[in-house]
Amino acid sequence: MKDLRGQARVSAFLRKSLAEGAQDVLKLEAMARREALLGERQRIADAKAFKRAKYSLRIRSVRAGFGPNGSWRWELPCDRDGASTASAITREPVPAERRVPVDWVEGVDRLNDYRPPTDVPRHCWRQFVSDCHSFLNSSQNWAARAAELGWDARALFGCHRNYPLMHLGSAGLLWAVNGGKLVELHRDWAVIELPVNRSQRIFSRRDVAAGKVILPWDRA
């Protein structure tokens, strides 16, 4: 019962804090500590109650700026008129059968603090991490659909340990998005709209053996 009350407090805190728009993660952490919802040295991305609330409220991680001056922000999804959907989310929780695997959510959250692999420029790594967050938090529920269709973590996020860009033939779907937009997802293939000219390419699902690729959050 105590855990449920604590989870409800965290959800209410995030709905209220994000109701007017996106908030910087560091600012959210400071606010949460003042409300005794987060430990003095605890990170919001590592706190289980905040992870659960982030998923259930469909909060998105958005990168603001680049380089050392950049930061991550959390924001609630918006309706078609651009208004926050905090009240609608409260009334319409995500059905249990549409759940995204928790290890995907936790793994992608860990990427925020990781250095890029050897052959991946920092701007490309930032784009990959942003694409992963967008995939997990999309209004189309791509991640939940992928789980239902049988896509596993390696087929979505997998890569060579040190040289992902040299081994794209065995890399997962999110490495192919590269700033584009996922427009179709099927059991064995997906369609990606490229960002430059909005042309489309087909990505075929790759069933790669566990020993040949790793998950990017398992590199450390």
Domain edges within the chain: 1-93, 100-220
- pTM for this entry: 0.57
Q: What is the pLDDT along the chain (220 residues), one digit of tens a residue?
A: 456 667 788 888 898 899 888 888 889 999 999 988 988 888 888 888 888 888 878 888 887 766 566 778 888 876 444 455 554 444 444 444 457 888 898 899 888 777 888 889 999 999 999 999 999 988 888 999 999 999 999 999 999 888 888 888 889 999 999 999 999 999 999 999 988 888 899 999 877 666 778 999 987 5
Q: Determine the pLDDT at residue 139.
A: 82
Contact between residue 27 and residue 69 where contact means Cβ atoms under 8 Å apart: no
Whole-number pLDDT of residue 77: 79
CA distances from 179 to 28, 117, 171 (A): 27, 18, 16
pLDDT, residue 131, reads 94
d(CA 213, CA 170): 7
Q: Indicate the fold that domain 1-93 takes in CATH.
A: Arc Repressor Mutant, subunit A (1.10.10)
**Total length of the chain:** 220
